[in-house]
């Protein structure tokens, strides 16, 4: 991943966190807000380096917690663990397949809130928790799963249109040219 | 298999997270506010976009409609002026009677209007952010009311320009309340994750005579919320703890999903 892609990813994550706090249409409609950070983490873990993945988990988590009543830092570890699990197995994943992206988004978006809730409960906090949480988890899981292929398409499109073009070498080599003499 | 670089990244992230989570609460709050201030530019952009859209709507309104509205407002203004004059007279009379009877003067309500700028992104808390902060005189635990005067919550944390309000129904917003008709007291606590319209009033006496429709107001005990701020109405009740206590389900007067502006009430 080049610097341009990295900036695009971080900017998108920043705006995603802002969108989650500023626009509540989905929450009014179906009773839960969708978390987009796990979906972006899937892309970062499959396309970036381990350093970038760790930086994304830290920045994304801190941005999210700063606008939330979450204790600062509680979202960082779930994001990082999800990213690490995907990063370790990324050679085995067909990252260009939409179905694979959907399944990874499904898994990441379901595990991230569950892990965050577990962290909150084990650190003595009292989040809103009940039967309604199951519905919220379903909404977050499905929303994140649908968002993941969309993010892949978006980042690939941005890279294709605005990113530096890859230089394609031809098979012609001047040192192998046969010069015909008279 | 984990490689050395993976272990290093894991160690660094865990160390950083544990350090942040174990910072002194004041430092942690400052760091949190500092990071949250990064979102000021997109927020400002959204607000100005909304204002522009609203102004554009005003330009589209026909002149005849504006004249009609202006006339209606002028009539309303005259009525309100008369009412104000009457109220001022009554107020003076009231103050004189208080003086004669030696009663303590009731302090005037001090309210400040605030705009709701952000809502909680996580589904397991119920908070909002408003655009008033310490520079506007706000401090922790001030009561927050809806435009209609119903209790919405309390200030949980304050920065220079904004504050976080923890709303009714959140586990961190418990209110000592009383039933207006019977005087029974209890604690309004958390609600379900999806029920933002209802909260539970716990610790009510088993002998309490509660009926649907009775009004719930703040009791004034507990040191945070002043007395007699309306909260909502009882919907139904049920016994808990083998009949030793009663829990009432209360429909909130405030529509917490549609808060655009709120009052902050100063003590």
Q: Which of residues 102-131 of B touch A (CB under 8 A)?
A: 117-127, 129
| pLDDT the model gives residue A155 | 92
DSSP one-letter code for B248: E
For a pLDDT cut of 70, what percent of chain A falls above it?
Answer: 98
Compute the distance between CA of residue A104 and CA of residue A89 in angstroms, rounded to an integer: 12
pLDDT per residue over B111-123, tens digit each?
899 999 889 999 9
Judging contacts by C-beta atoms under 8 Å, the chain B residues touching residue A76 are 13, 16-17, 20
B22 and chain A: CB distance < 8 Å anywhere? Answer: no
Give the pLDDT band of residue B1 (cuts 50, 70, 90).
low
Q: What is the mean pLDDT of residues A79-95?
A: 91
Please say if the pLDDT value at position B108 is more than 80. no
Tokens of B123: 């589904």
**Preferred mutation among A32, A73, A89, A120 to probe B, highest tally of B CBs within 10 A:** A73
Compute the distance between CA of residue A100 and CA of residue A18 in angstroms, rounded to an integer: 28
Strand partners of residue B15: none
Give the pLDDT band of residue B3 (cuts 50, 70, 90).
confident
Residue A168 lies in a domain: no
| pLDDT the model gives residue B144 | 94
pLDDT per residue over B153-176, tens digit each?
999 999 888 899 999 999 899 999
What chain B residue is nearest to A72 in terms of C-alpha separation?
Answer: B21
pLDDT per residue over B182-235, tens digit each?
889 999 988 888 888 899 998 888 888 888 999 999 998 888 888 889 999 999
Judging contacts by C-beta atoms under 8 Å, the chain A residues touching residue B200 are none
Measure in Å the smallest separation between the Cα of A101 and chain B Cα atoms: 22
Measure in Å the smallest separation between the Cα of A102 and chain B Cα atoms: 22
Buried residues in B209-220 as b, exposed as e (16+ CB within 10 A):
ebeeebebbbbe
Inspect the interface and report whether the beta carbons of A63 and B38 lie closer than 8 Å.
yes
Domain that holds residue A154: 3-162
Cβ B246 vs Cβ B207: under 8 Å: no
Inspect the interface and report whether the beta carbons of B12 and A54 lie closer than 8 Å.
yes
DSSP one-letter code for B247: E
Give Cα B166 to chain centroid, integer Å. 7
Mean pLDDT of chain A: 90
What chain A residue is nearest to B129 in terms of C-alpha separation?
Answer: A67
Residue A177 lies in a domain: no
**Preferred mutation among A22, A38, A85 to probe B, highest tally of B CBs within 10 A:** A22
pLDDT per residue over A101-149, tens digit each?
999 999 999 999 999 999 999 988 889 888 889 999 999 999 999 999 9
DSSP one-letter code for A126: -
Please say if the pLDDT value at position B42 is more than 80. yes
Residue A182 lies in a domain: no
What chain A residue is nearest to B164 in terms of C-alpha separation?
Answer: A69
For a pLDDT cut of 90, what percent of chain B falls above it?
Answer: 38
Q: Which of residues 165-184 of B touch A (CB under 8 A)?
A: 166, 169-172
- A69 → closest Cβ in B117, B164, B257: B164
Judged by DSSP in three states, A102 sits in helix
Which of the two residues, A101 and A162, has the higher pLDDT score?
Answer: A101
Please say if the pLDDT value at position A165 is more than 80. no
Buried residues in A68-105 as b, exposed as e (16+ CB within 10 A):
bbbbbbbbbbbbbbbbbebbeeeeebebeeeebbbebb
Give the pLDDT band of residue A14 (cuts 50, 70, 90).
very high
Residue A149 lies in a domain: yes
Give the pLDDT band of residue B105 (cuts 50, 70, 90).
low
- Cβ count near B36 (within 10 Å): 22
Q: Write phi, then psi, for B192 (nearest 5 degrees).
A: -75, 165
Q: Which residue blocks in chain A are alpha helix, DSSP H?
A: 3-22, 25-30, 37-47, 50-67, 76-88, 98-122, 131-162
A18 and chain B: CB distance < 8 Å anywhere? Answer: yes
DSSP one-letter code for B192: -
Total number of domains constituting chain A = 1
**Prediction pTM value:** 0.84
| pLDDT the model gives residue B192 | 81
Judging contacts by C-beta atoms under 8 Å, the chain B residues touching residue A120 are 124
Tokens of B80: 């309100």
Please say if the pLDDT value at position B128 is more than 90. yes
- A17 → closest Cβ in B46, B121, B193: B121
Residue A167 lies in a domain: no
B154 and chain A: CB distance < 8 Å anywhere? Answer: no
Compute the distance between CA of residue B250 and CA of residue B262 in angstroms, rounded to an integer: 21
Inspect the interface and report whether the beta carbons of B121 and A28 lie closer than 8 Å.
no
Compute the distance between CA of residue B110 and CA of residue B265 in angstroms, rounded to an integer: 6
Q: Which of B231, B239, B229 is nearest to B214 (CA)?
A: B231
Beta carbon pairs, A and B, within 8 Å: 152
Mean pLDDT of chain B: 88
- Cα dihedral A155, A78, B127, B22, rounded to 10, equals -130
Judging contacts by C-beta atoms under 8 Å, the chain B residues touching residue A15 are 42
* Secondary structure string (H, E, C) spanning B50-72: HHHHHHHHHHHCCHHHHHHHHHH
Inspect the interface and report whether the beta carbons of A20 and B46 lie closer than 8 Å.
no
Cβ A117 vs Cβ A85: under 8 Å: no
Tokens of B218: 């703040």
Which of the two residues, B145 and B244, has the higher pLDDT score?
Answer: B145
Give the pLDDT band of residue A94 (cuts 50, 70, 90).
confident
Give the pLDDT band of residue A52 (cuts 50, 70, 90).
very high
Assign residue A126 a region: left if phi > 0, alpha if psi is -120 to 50, beta otherwise?
A: beta
Judging contacts by C-beta atoms under 8 Å, the chain A residues touching residue B14 are 77
A121 and chain B: CB distance < 8 Å anywhere? Answer: no
Residue A181 lies in a domain: no
Q: What is the mean pLDDT of residues A30-41?
A: 93
What chain A residue is nearest to B119 in terms of C-alpha separation?
Answer: A21
Q: Write phi, then psi, for A49 (nearest 5 degrees).
A: -85, 170
Q: Which of B206, B28, B117, B91 is nearest to A62 (CA)?
A: B28
Please say if the pLDDT value at position A167 is more than 90. no
Residue A104 lies in a domain: yes
Helix then strand then coil, % of chain B, to nearest 5: 35, 30, 35
Q: Which of A1, A136, A111 is nearest to A56 (CA)?
A: A1
Residue A173 lies in a domain: no
């Amino acid at each position: 991943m080049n610097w341009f892609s990295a900036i695009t990813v971080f900017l998108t994550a920043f705006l995603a966190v802002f969108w989650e706090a500023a626009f509540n249409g989905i929450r009014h409609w179906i009773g839960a807000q969708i978390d987009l950070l796990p979906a972006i983490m899937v892309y970062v873990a499959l396309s970036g380096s381990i350093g970038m993945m760790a930086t994304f988990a830290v920045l994304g988590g801190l941005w999210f917690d700063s606008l939330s009543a979450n204790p600062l830092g509680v979202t960082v570890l779930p994001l990082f663990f999800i990213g690490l699990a995907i990063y370790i197995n990324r050679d085995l994943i067909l990252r260009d397949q939409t179905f694979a992206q959907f399944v990874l988004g499904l898994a990441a978006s379901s595990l991230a809130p569950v892990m965050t809730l577990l962290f909150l409960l084990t650190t003595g906090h009292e989040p809103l928790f009940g039967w309604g949480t199951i519905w919220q988890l379903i909404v977050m899981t499905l929303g994140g799963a649908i968002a993941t292929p969309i993010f892949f398409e978006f980042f690939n499109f941005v890279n294709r249109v605005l990113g530096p073009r890859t230089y394609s070498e031809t098979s012609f080599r001047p040192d192998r040219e046969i010069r015909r003499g008279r | 298999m984990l490689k050395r670089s993976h272990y290093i990244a894991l160690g660094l992230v865990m160390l950083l997270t544990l350090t942040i989570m174990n910072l002194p609460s004041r430092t942690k709050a400052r760091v949190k506010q500092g990071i949250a201030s990064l979102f000021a530019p997109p927020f400002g952009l959204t607000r100005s976009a909304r204002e522009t859209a609203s102004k554009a709507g005003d330009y589209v309104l026909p002149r005849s409609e504006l004249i009609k509205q202006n006339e209606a407002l002028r009539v309303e203004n005259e009525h309100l002026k008369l009412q104000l004059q009457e109220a001022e007279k009554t107020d003076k009379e009231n103050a004189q009677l208080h003086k004669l009877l030696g009663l303590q003067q009731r302090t005037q309500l001090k309210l400040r209007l605030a705009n709701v700028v952000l809502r909680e992104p996580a589904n397991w808390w119920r908070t909002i952010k408003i655009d008033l902060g310490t520079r506007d005189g706000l401090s922790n635990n001030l009561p927050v009311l809806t435009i209609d005067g119903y209790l919405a919550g309390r200030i949980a944390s304050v920065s220079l320009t904004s504050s976080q309000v923890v709303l009714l129904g959140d586990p961190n917003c418990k209110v000592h309340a009383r039933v207006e008709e019977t005087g029974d007291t209890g604690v309004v606590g958390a609600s379900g994750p999806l029920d933002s319209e209802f909260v539970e009033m716990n610790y009510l006496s088993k002998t309490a005579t509660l009926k649907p429709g009775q009004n719930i107001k703040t009791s004034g005990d507990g040191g945070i919320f002043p007395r007699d701020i309306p909260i909502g109405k009882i919907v139904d009740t049920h016994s808990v703890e083998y009949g030793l206590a009663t829990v009432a389900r209360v429909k909130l007067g405030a529509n917490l999903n549609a808060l655009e502006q709120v009052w902050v009430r100063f003590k």
